[in-house]
Amino acid sequence: MPQDADMLTRFSVIKDKRGFSLLELIVVVALIGILSGLAIPSIKSSMPQYYLSGAARQVMTDLMLARMKAVSSNADRAVTFSSTGYIIQGISTDIPSQFKGVSLSSTGDITFNSTGTSSGSIVITLTGSPGLSPKYVDVSAAGRARIR
């Protein structure tokens, strides 16, 4: 008999550990919904700035990659700019299709030579929606690209 009493005690302990009630789950889901509803407008208003910054980083990264490939292959790498993007070694990058609302303009084309220097200095201007400050990617004659 003592074993049966011990088993009943174990089952009653397990029976008391039920988990969450339906009401508690509904309250948590409602709170998550309310907090999400408050956060979404602020995230949406920040998106144009994220697109503009992302486009500037993409342009700078691609320019630095072209410079590194010129050095590693001991051959010139040309970067040709258009009204929507740029072409490096036959590979085209279209900025407005990748980054919504961002447009690109450049003061010219550039060529990186085998020493990592460039054919001159240029400025690539990226503009976003009205009210946002444009981003500039500067490439110096030494071949260094930076965002300002």
CA dist., res. 63 & res. 86, Å (int): 10
Look at 8-12, 51-55, 124-128 and tell me which has the smallest mean pLDDT. 8-12
- What order of strands is seen across the sheet that includes strand 85-88? 91-94, 85-88, 77-81, 110-112
Q: What is the pLDDT of residue 39?
A: 87
- For residue 118, the cross-strand partners are 112
Range of the domain at 107: 48-147
pLDDT grade for 137, boundaries at 50, 70 and 90: very high
Name residue, tokens 């919904």. 33
Query: Looking at the predicted structure, is the pLDDT value of residue 5 above 70?
Result: no
Q: What's this model's pTM, rounded to 2 decimal places?
A: 0.76
- Please report whether residue 57 resides in a domain: yes
- Please report whether residue 23 resides in a domain: no
Query: Looking at the predicted structure, is the pLDDT value of residue 59 above 70?
Result: yes
Are 79 and 86 in contact, with CB atoms under 8 Å apart? yes
Name residue, tokens 């790498």. 77
- Please report whether residue 139 resides in a domain: yes
- Please report whether residue 97 resides in a domain: yes
Helix, strand, or coil (residue 36): helix
**Number of domain units in the chain:** 1
Amino acid type, 123: V
Give the CATH number, domain containing residue 100.
3.55.40.10
- Please report whether residue 84 resides in a domain: yes
Q: Which pLDDT tens digit goes with each residue over 97-111? A: 999 999 999 999 999
Are 87 and 110 in contact, with CB atoms under 8 Å apart? no
Torsion of CA 10, 13, 14, 16, to 10 degrees: 160
